[in-house]
């Protein structure tokens, strides 16, 4: 029996605002416990929330990027549940009239373009963190994270394979970074997931009982948890055993999921409109204003790179994978209009340097202008490939201008025919054995002679010219 | 002549400016009164008498140096114990907050401090402002200064009793369903509930967010007006505060030609005949001044209690969820581990022991009516009926300037008389509740006394933002009567 | 007499949802009191409110928000000052079973 999984995702993303959703505490990551808290995010008696405008703006921008309809009138609701990391024991969220509804994301899976529909996007506040230490009879609570703005993106159950889920998550992450909604740093918990999954016989219309999976904090855990769950449900379906509607918790270390609660014990969140926050009216002008700031999204950019620069799908894909790299590419090409040369250098030496140094382009000392000027020299044969790579390395070290480095190091390539002729003659004179070997038909000896010429030039002679002249001179012998 | 502690702030301030009195004299007198009376009345939960006297002395020095002081500087003020004071106990009269010291000031407290008023202490109340008698306090019942056997009303009963007994010159209260006006009526002081949004709620421990409002409690209308102008105004920390200026006009007492609406539903059965008589007499007073009296109708009045007791407990059940023993306040140290989740055991026992029975009743009521499957039948339905109640007022105000009603159907009742029947207690809020549901301003002014010398107040309800209007109508009444000047016997 | 608005099971459930560990006496008392209060609420059913919009907000305010600016927070000491139990800068609670 062929099993088809039906998968939907809920994505919680921490927004890249300076301050929290409802107070002016910093959203910085990694501070000492309970140092980025105030009466409001601690939920002390008497405090009131005040909405962060920037979070709303980012919410609208995300809705636009994900093709959602924006509710002109939206409001906050209270979601009531008790948890020690939730200071008020309710979360301010949006249940009834979320900021955006009915959108979609397109992404590539292999050669195909797939579409996952977005059910809704809503704003809410994050909870704090509970710390459990092994073997202790207590837990600890840090509320620095409490109140950081979150955007929850809820998809329809439109995915049917791991590849689709993986590509969707990557595309969504990319979009969020492109539009500046979130830094999407997984290690800082900027993206967290919940998945719902059911299985059915392939071809069946009806959906199986839905299982919700919680505590998925990385792409890897989403994929592992789904794989585990599909396997589990599939096996039950094959054996004709019932599948229960339930919520399961993923245990990363054990690589297993456990029942958290069954449907009958479903949480009763007692949602009602948040009386402390007047509703929001999202005006047309504001939406238009935000629309104008939307950058080109990754999939579109990829298509354009292929068409405009003649890049391969793979090359375009790699460049677009990171917004910064793709922008850098275009800046370089603007100055040095050799897209093939530029893409090769970016994907090769440049990415190697970045990886080795653990930097992003923005953090490094390389600028688009510097790389463009270096590549201009490469193109004009003013420097050898090898020396150009050394030069790039030095730019990363010192940030110096490429011309200055080449000058200083004396890497300027010798293309002057007379000068090369002189060196070729010298090499022939000094290596009569090699010349003999060549005449006997030993091809390796030719390479040896080229090497000798290069050595005489201290690596600066243009290898093409050397070959050309050497051939000519040998012919004279 | 009355004792200093029974004079209104505007008179005291003038005397100080004239050099007839010092700030220290006033505070000393108030403290003396407090020490003499509060053992019997129990108006205060916590006091800061020494600090108050220090502040008074320092203000005297400032004045001597010729410094310019704000108009209510040096006036001893009592603050209801659900308003946060930095570094000073704020309990909401609940065991669950018995030791809570806020690290911040409510906006109104910041304003009071800027005005250089002197906080004498924090006053008793019904726990979390839930009640109409100040009997629901972890710190014991407050007694009515006019008759110790009787309740002072509630929930701001400590604040009104303190002012009535000369234990403070003015006070701050909060009003969610009548909690300033009803105790003001029971204690014969002036209590104003401003338009929703007039006074910042930041730092007022929330009971029902869409109904709560802080307001002044004072000896007379002039003082209430002065205090409103200090505590009111837009506050960026409260998204529901109105970005509008406060009224500035002088009280004139000119009310000729004003139309007073008398809702026929309010003077019907279920009301004590003496209360009815006092309200009718008050109306006569205004009629003689040239006011026009008109019968109006507020047809949905009878639904207001049910509406209120759905909306308020729903919001309360959520607002009070935060008291769980994790971050602050009481934590039951001896919770029993039932085997499920130790932290849940701790929370459940903390809450069960930390809250009093009225609070628990309302939390449960609100939780039930919000729970799955009931939202539409209760919360949504009530908020719709609330619209009808609001519209009643809008229609009525098309044909009158003010609405005059009783504050409470009865004079102050005996301690213990209603505690066993919550519904009966709820029903006594019938005249004050509609005002909160509609977000309107209303005032209770001393209207007269029963044969037993028990105070009875009269309520004036105004159009949205017309605090000035109701204060001025009250002022006119006050100019023609002396009820507001009477003090409890034995003083 | 209709007193089936609320059952013992409801009280049990509401107690759990409210995080209140009620004693048997409390359960009995609240069942009685809440039932009579809820019966009283039944009167709202008399009103036809199909066409009526709810008043969730007493004022007509819209879109109240603040700029995205950071201001100073409380110190850790202030934040934990009221805590019933604390340790190493954290609030300390009985073991949470996730």
Residue B107: the pLDDT is 98
Q: Which residues of B touch C41 (CB under 8 A)?
A: 306, 309-310, 378
Best A59, A140, A274 member to test C by mutation, with max C CBs in 10 Å, is A140
Give the domain CATH number at B299: 3.90.1300.10
A476 pLDDT tier (thresholds 50, 70, 90)? low
Q: Which residues of A touch B238 (CB under 8 A)?
A: 48
Residue A175: the pLDDT is 97
For CATH 1.10.10.410, list the domain ranges present in chain A.
Answer: 417-476
Is C29 part of a structural domain of the chain? yes
SS3 sequence of chain A: CCEEEEEEEEEEEECCCCECCCCCCECCCCCCCCCCCCHHHHCCCCCCCCEEHHHHHHHHHHHHHCCCEECCEECCEEEECCCCCCCCCEEEECCCCCCEEEEEEEEEECCEEEEEEEEEEEEEECCCEEEECCCCCEEEEECCCCCCEEEEEEECCCECCHHHHHHHHHHHHHHHHHCCCCCCCHHHCCEEEEEEEEEEECCCCCCCCCEEEEEECCHHHHHHHHHHHHHHHHHHHHHCCCCCCEEEEEECCCCEEEEEEEHHHCCCCCCEECCCCCCEECCHHHHHHHHCCCCCCHHHHHHHHHHHHCCCHHHHHHHHHCHHHHHHHHHHHHHCCCHHHHHHHHHHHHHHHHHHHCCCCCCCCCCHHHHHHHHHHHHCCCCCHHHHHHHHHHHHHHCCCHHHHHHHHCCCCECCHHHHHHHHHHHHHHCHHHHHHHHCCCHHHHHHHHHHHHHHCCCCECHHHHHHHHHHHHHHC
Nearest to C68 among A35, A53, A282 (CB): A53
Q: How far apart are CA B446 and CA B157, in angstroms?
A: 15
Nearest chain C residue (CA) to B299: C47
Q: Which residues of B touch A37 (CB under 8 A)?
A: none
Residue C1, pLDDT > 70, answer: no
Q: For residue C28, what are the domain limits?
A: 8-46
SS3 B34: helix
Q: Which residues of B touch A127 (CB under 8 A)?
A: none
Nearest CA of chain C to the CA of A141: how many Å?
A: 5
Residue A413: the pLDDT is 72
If you compute the radius of gyration of chain A from its CA atoms, what whole number of angstroms results?
A: 30
B155 as an active site residue: the answer is yes
Is C41 part of a structural domain of the chain? yes
More confident residue, B234 or A458: B234
Query: A with C: how many residue pairs have Cβ under 8 Å apart?
Result: 124
Considering the candidates B24, B155, B188, B200, report the single residue annotated as catalytic.
B155
Residue A196: the pLDDT is 95
Q: Pairing state of beta strands B190-193 and B170-174?
A: unpaired
Nearest CA of chain B to the CA of C75: how many Å?
A: 10
Nearest to B342 among C58, C74, C95 (CB): C95
Nearest CA of chain A to the CA of C78: how many Å?
A: 9
Q: How far apart are CA A114 and CA B177, in angstroms?
A: 56
Residue A477, pLDDT > 70, answer: no
Q: Which residues of C touch A56 (CB under 8 A)?
A: 65
Nearest chain A residue (CA) to C75: A35
Q: Is C58 on the interface with B (CB under 8 A)?
A: yes
The chains in contact with chain B, meaning 3 or more Cβ pairs closer than 8 Å, are A, C
Q: Is C40 on the interface with B (CB under 8 A)?
A: yes
Query: A with B: how many residue pairs have Cβ under 8 Å apart?
Result: 102
Percent of chain A at pLDDT exceeding 90:
73
Q: How far apart are CA A96 and CA A76, in angstroms?
A: 8
The chains in contact with chain A, meaning 3 or more Cβ pairs closer than 8 Å, are B, C
Beta-strand ranges (E) seen in chain C are: 65-66, 86-87, 90-94
pLDDT tens digits, A372-418:
999 998 888 788 888 899 999 999 999 999 988 988 887 877 767 88
Nearest CA of chain A to the CA of C29: how many Å?
A: 24
**Cβ neighbours of residue A297 closer than 8 Å, sequence gap 6 or more:** A65, A175, A178, A179
B80 as an active site residue: the answer is yes
Q: Which residues of A touch B314 (CB under 8 A)?
A: 272
Q: Which residues of A touch B100 (CB under 8 A)?
A: 45
Question: The tokens of B407 are what?
Answer: 């504050």
Nearest CA of chain B to the CA of A25: how many Å?
A: 14
- What's the structural domain count of chain B? 1
Q: Is B302 on the interface with C (CB under 8 A)?
A: yes
Instruction: Check CB contact under 8 Å for B340 and C97.
Output: yes
Instruction: Check CB contact under 8 Å for B343 and A139.
Output: yes
Q: Which residues of A touch B83 (CB under 8 A)?
A: 46
Considering the candidates B22, B24, B80, B188, report the single residue annotated as catalytic.
B80
The chains in contact with chain C, meaning 3 or more Cβ pairs closer than 8 Å, are A, B
Question: The tokens of A67 are what?
Answer: 């093709």
SS3 B216: strand
Q: Which residues of C touch B342 (CB under 8 A)?
A: 94-97
Is C90 part of a structural domain of the chain? no
Instruction: Check CB contact under 8 Å for A24 and C65.
Output: no
Nearest CA of chain A to the CA of B427: how many Å?
A: 25
Instruction: Check CB contact under 8 Å for B327 and A87.
Output: yes
Q: Which residues of A touch B326 (CB under 8 A)?
A: 84, 141
Instruction: Check CB contact under 8 Å for B209 and A50.
Output: no
Q: Is B393 on the interface with C (CB under 8 A)?
A: no
Cβ under 8 Å to C: B residues 440-479:
none
Considering the candidates B13, B159, B179, B428, report the single residue annotated as catalytic.
B179
Over its length of 491 residues, how does chain B's per-residue pLDDT go in tens digits? 358 999 999 999 999 999 999 999 999 999 999 999 999 999 999 999 999 999 999 999 999 999 999 999 999 999 999 999 999 999 999 999 999 999 999 999 999 999 999 999 999 999 999 999 999 999 999 999 999 999 999 999 999 999 999 999 999 999 999 999 999 999 999 999 999 999 999 999 999 999 999 999 999 999 999 999 999 999 999 999 999 999 999 999 999 999 999 999 887 768 999 999 999 999 999 999 999 999 999 999 999 999 999 999 999 999 999 999 999 999 998 888 776 789 999 999 999 999 999 999 999 999 999 999 999 999 999 999 999 999 999 999 999 999 999 999 999 999 999 888 888 889 899 999 999 999 999 999 999 999 999 999 999 999 999 999 999 999 999 999 999 999 997 65
B179 as an active site residue: the answer is yes
More confident residue, A277 or B491: A277
Give the domain CATH number at C31: 1.10.20
Is C42 part of a structural domain of the chain? yes
Instruction: Check CB contact under 8 Å for B321 and A90.
Output: yes
Q: For residue B298, what are the domain limits?
A: 1-491
Q: Which residues of A touch B327 (CB under 8 A)?
A: 42-44, 87, 141
Instruction: Check CB contact under 8 Å for A50 and B236.
Output: yes
Nearest CA of chain A to the CA of C37: how many Å?
A: 20
Residue A145: the pLDDT is 97
Residue A264: the pLDDT is 65
Instruction: Check CB contact under 8 Å for B202 and A89.
Output: no
Residue B1: the pLDDT is 39
Percent of chain C at pLDDT exceeding 90:
92
Q: What value does the mean pLDDT take over residues C48-60?
A: 96
Instruction: Check CB contact under 8 Å for A45 and B206.
Output: yes
- What's the structural domain count of chain C? 1
Nearest to A268 among B237, B239, B371 (CB): B371
Q: Is C15 on the interface with B (CB under 8 A)?
A: yes
pLDDT tens digits, A4-32:
999 999 999 999 999 999 999 999 999 99
Q: Are B392 and C52 in contact (CB under 8 A)?
A: no
CATH of domain A417-476: 1.10.10.410
Residue A163, pLDDT > 80, answer: yes
Nearest CA of chain A to the CA of C65: how many Å?
A: 5
Residue A169: the pLDDT is 97
């Amino acid at each position: 029996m062929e099993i088809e999984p039906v998968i939907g995702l809920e994505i919680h993303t921490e927004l890249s605002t300076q301050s929290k959703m409802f107070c002016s505490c910093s959203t910085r990551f990694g501070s000492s416990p309970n140092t980025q808290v105030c009466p409001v995010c601690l939920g002390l008696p008497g405090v009131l929330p005040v909405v962060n405008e920037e979070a709303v703006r980012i919410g609208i921008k995300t809705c636009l990027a994900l093709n959602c309809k924006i509710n002109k009138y939206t409001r906050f609701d209270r979601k009531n549940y008790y948890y020690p990391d939730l200071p008020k024991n309710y979360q301010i969220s949006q249940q009834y009239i979320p900021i955006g509804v009915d959108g979609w994301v397109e992404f590539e899976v292999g050669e195909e373009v797939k579409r996952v529909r977005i059910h809704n996007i809503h704003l809410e506040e994050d909870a704090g963190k509970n710390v459990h230490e092994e073997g202790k009879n207590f837990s600890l609570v840090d509320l620095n994270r409490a109140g950081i703005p979150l955007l929850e993106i809820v998809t329809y159950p439109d995915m049917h394979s791991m590849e689709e889920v993986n590509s969707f998550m990557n595309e969504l992450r990319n979009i969020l970074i492109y539009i500046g909604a979130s830094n999407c740093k997984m290690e800082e918990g900027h993206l967290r997931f919940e998945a719902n999954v059911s299985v059915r016989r392939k071809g069946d219309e009806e959906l199986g009982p839905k299982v919700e999976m919680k505590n998925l904090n990385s792409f890897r855990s989403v994929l592992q948890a789904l794989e585990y769950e599909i396997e589990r449900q599939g096996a039950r379906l094959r054996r004709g055993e019932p599948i229960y509607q339930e919520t399961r918790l993923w245990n990363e270390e054990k690589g297993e999921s456990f029942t958290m609660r069954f449907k009958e014990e479903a949480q009763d969140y007692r949602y009602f409109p948040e009386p402390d926050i007047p509703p929001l009216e999202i005006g047309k002008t504001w939406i238009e204003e935000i629309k104008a700031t939307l950058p080109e999204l990754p999939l579109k950019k990829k298509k354009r790179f292929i068409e405009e620069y003649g890049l391969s799908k793979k090359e375009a894909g790699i460049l677009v994978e990171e917004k910064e790299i793709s922008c850098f590419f275009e800046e370089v090409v603007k100055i040095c209009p050799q897209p093939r040369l530029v893409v090769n250098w970016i994907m090769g030496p440049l990415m190697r340097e970045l990886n080795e140094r653990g930097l992003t382009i923005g953090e490094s000392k390389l600028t688009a202008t510097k790389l463009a000027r270096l590549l201009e020299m490469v193109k004009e044969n003013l420097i050898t490939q090898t020396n150009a790579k050394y030069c790039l390395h030095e730019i990363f070290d010192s940030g110096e201008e490429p011309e200055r480095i080449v000058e200083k190091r004396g890497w300027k390539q010798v293309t002057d025919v007379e000068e090369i002729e002189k060196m070729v003659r010298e090499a022939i004179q000094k290596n009569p054995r090699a010349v003999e070997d060549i005449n006997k038909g030993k091809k390796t000896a030719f390479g040896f002679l080229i090497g000798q010429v290069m050595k005489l030039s201290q690596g600066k002679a243009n290898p093409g010219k050397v070959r050309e002249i050497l051939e000519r001179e040998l012919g004279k012998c | 002549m009355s004792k200093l502690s029974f004079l209104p702030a505007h008179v005291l301030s003038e005397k100080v400016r004239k050099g007839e009195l010092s700030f220290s004299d006033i505070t000393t007198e108030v403290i003396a009164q407090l020490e003499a009376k509060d053992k019997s009345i129990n108006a205060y939960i916590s006091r800061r008498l020494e600090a108050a006297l220090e502040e008074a002395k320092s203000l005297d020095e400032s004045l001597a140096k010729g410094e310019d002081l704000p108009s209510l500087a040096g006036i001893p003020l009592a603050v209801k114990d659900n308003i946060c004071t930095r570094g000073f106990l704020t309990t909401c009269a609940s065991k669950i907050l018995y030791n809570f010291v806020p690290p911040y000031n409510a906006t109104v407290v910041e304003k009071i401090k800027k005005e250089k008023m002197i906080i004498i202490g924090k006053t008793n109340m019904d726990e979390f402002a839930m009640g109409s008698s100040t009997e629901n306090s972890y710190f014991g019942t407050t007694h009515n200064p006019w008759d110790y056997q009787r309740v002072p009303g509630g929930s701001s009963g400590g604040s009104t009793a303190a002012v009535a007994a000369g234990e403070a010159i003015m006070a701050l209260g909060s009003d969610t369903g009548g909690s300033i006006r009803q105790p003001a009526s029971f204690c014969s002081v002036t209590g104003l509930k401003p338009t929703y949004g007039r006074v910042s709620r930041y730092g007022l421990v929330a009971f029902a967010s869409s109904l709560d409002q802080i307001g002044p409690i004072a000896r007379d209308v002039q003082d209430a007006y002065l205090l409103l102008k200090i505590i009111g105004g837009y506050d960026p920390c409260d998204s529901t505060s109105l970005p509008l200026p406060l009224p500035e006009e002088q009280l004139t007492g000119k009310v000729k030609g004003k139309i007073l609406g008398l809702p026929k539903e309010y003077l019907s059965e279920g009301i004590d005949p003496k209360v009815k008589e006092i309200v009718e007499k008050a109306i006569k007073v205004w009629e003689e001044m040239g006011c026009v009296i008109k019968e109006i109708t507020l047809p949905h009045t009878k639904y207001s209690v049910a509406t209120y007791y759905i909306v308020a407990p729903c919001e309360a059940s959520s607002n009070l969820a935060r008291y769980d023993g994790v971050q602050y306040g009481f934590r039951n140290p001896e919770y029993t581990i039932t085997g499920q989740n130790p932290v849940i055991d701790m929370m459940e026992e903390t809450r069960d022991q930390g809250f009093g029975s009225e609070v628990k009743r309302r939390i449960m009521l609100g939780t039930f009516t919000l729970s799955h499957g009931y939202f539409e039948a209760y919360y949504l339905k009530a908020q719709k009926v609330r619209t009808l109640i609001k519209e009643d007022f809008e229609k009525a105000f098309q044909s009158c300037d003010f609405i005059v009603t009783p504050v409470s159907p009865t004079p102050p009742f005996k301690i213990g008389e209603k505690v066993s029947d919550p519904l009966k207690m709820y029903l006594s809020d019938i005249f004050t509740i509609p005002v909160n549901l509609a977000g309107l301003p209303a005032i209770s002014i001393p209207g007269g006394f029963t044969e037993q010398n028990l105070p009875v107040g009269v309520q004036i309800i105004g159009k949205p933002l017309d605090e000035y209007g109701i204060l001025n109508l009250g002022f006119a009444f006050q100019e023609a009567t002396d009820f507001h000047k009477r003090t409890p016997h034995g003083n | 007499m209709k007193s089936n608005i609320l059952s013992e099971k409801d009280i049990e459930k509401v107690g759990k949802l409210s995080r209140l560990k009620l004693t048997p006496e409390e359960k009995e008392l609240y069942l009685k009191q809440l039932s009579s209060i809820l019966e009283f609420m039944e009167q709202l059913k008399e009103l036809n409110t199909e066409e009526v919009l709810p008043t969730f907000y007493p004022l007509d305010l819209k879109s109240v928000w603040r700029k995205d600016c950071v201001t100073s927070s409380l110190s850790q000491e202030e934040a934990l000052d009221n805590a019933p139990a604390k340790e190493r800068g954290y609030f300390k609670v009985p073991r949470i079973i996730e």
